[in-house]
Homo-oligomer: A and B are copies of this chain.
Amino acid sequence: MSVRVGLDIGGTKMHGVLLAPDGSVLAERRAGTVPGPEGVVRGAVEVVTALCAGHAPAGVGIGVPGLVDPASGSVRHAFNLGLDAEPFPLVRRVGERLRTEGVLGADRPVALENDLNASSLGAAALLDVGDDLAYLALGTGVAVGLVLEGRLRRGAHGLAGEVGHLPVRPGGAECPCGQRGCLELYASGSGLAREVEHDGPEPLAAVVFDAAARGERHAREVRDRLLDGVADVVQMLVLTLDVGAVVLGGGIARLGEPLLTGVRSRLERREGTSGFLAAAGLARRVRLAPTDVPVGAVGAALALGDH
């Protein structure tokens, strides 16, 4: 087996890795994302080409936001990439360019996967938790990726993982989705931005957690609603699916230990009052996504094996 390339294309930047057959990262490359079809294709080709200097890759896996059809290699509704409702054949466009330029062999595949699914595959490979997990992405929005017994769960209509719109606080604030009290209002970057004004360079979640640690009342409320909501969804995922692990990822998970400790302590409190929950073992299943390795890019390379 040969090296593989994984590329995670986000709204502001793309992140590529060259993956050895044993799964270790041989090289990394970042570039800014230029939205729009031509900008995305050109950026992807440039990053992959730079990574492949001196290598003949076995394939290229790409993760993107939006509605992905892995079978046709197309994506739509990736608004922050400037790709609209029309299915855009990203696999074909990137593949043609790479083959024309001699970077990729004629028979070597390009695979496309939703970025959350790619991150889930990456987390399953990078963490020592087995091949069964839920990857809870706490980013601008909130959603979960599911790897069940090693296989991605996409759902009957490709809609699995929309836990951001489970109401966790009855009678809570109005959500843009039309419901009230959705998890996304409390455990996402967009939700925090609604609660807290802040202009500095620090991530908003860190600002909130720091202020809460200093005892500021509103910050404590915002932090506690976030932690309660995440604990609710962890409990739901474990009781419903019995996933081996729930991995906290996305921008908010860069908080690290304060987030992990806060979620675990809430789950441990619940386990303390319920033998049933204690037997299910909620707290010990929660993990942080790795931050030293680009999970999404590694998972995109692994998505090659899932097609």
Contact = CB atoms under 8 A, between A and B. Distances in A.
B148 A153 contact: yes
Interface stretch (A46-54, A82-90, A163-171): A163-171
A37 to B, nearest CB: 25
B235 A159 contact: no
Contacts of A240: 144, 160-163, 166, 236-237, 240-241
Instruction: List the 8 closest pairs (A to B, CB-CB), nearest first.
Output: A155-B242, A178-B274, A156-B244, A177-B276, A160-B242, A159-B242, A162-B239, A132-B156
Interface residues of A, number: 39
Interface in A29-86: none
Contacts of A157: 242, 281
A201 interface: no
Given A148-B153, A166-B236, A236-B166, A158 B273 contact: no
A270 interface: yes
Interface in A121-151: 130, 132, 144, 146, 148
A275 interface: yes
Contacts of A235: 166
Count copies of this chain in the complex. Answer: 2
A94 to B, nearest CB: 28
Interface in A216-242: 235-237, 239-242
Given A132-B156, A155-B242, A177-B275, 11 more contacts: A154-B242, A156-B242, A158-B242, A159-B242, A163-B240, A165-B239, A165-B274, A177-B277, A178-B273, A178-B276, A178-B277
A179 interface: yes
A20 interface: no
Contact of A241 (B153, B170, B276, B281): B153
Given A242-B155, A242-B159, A243-B156, A270 B179 contact: yes
Contacts of A165: 239, 274, 276-277
Nearest to A271: B178
A130 B148 contact: no
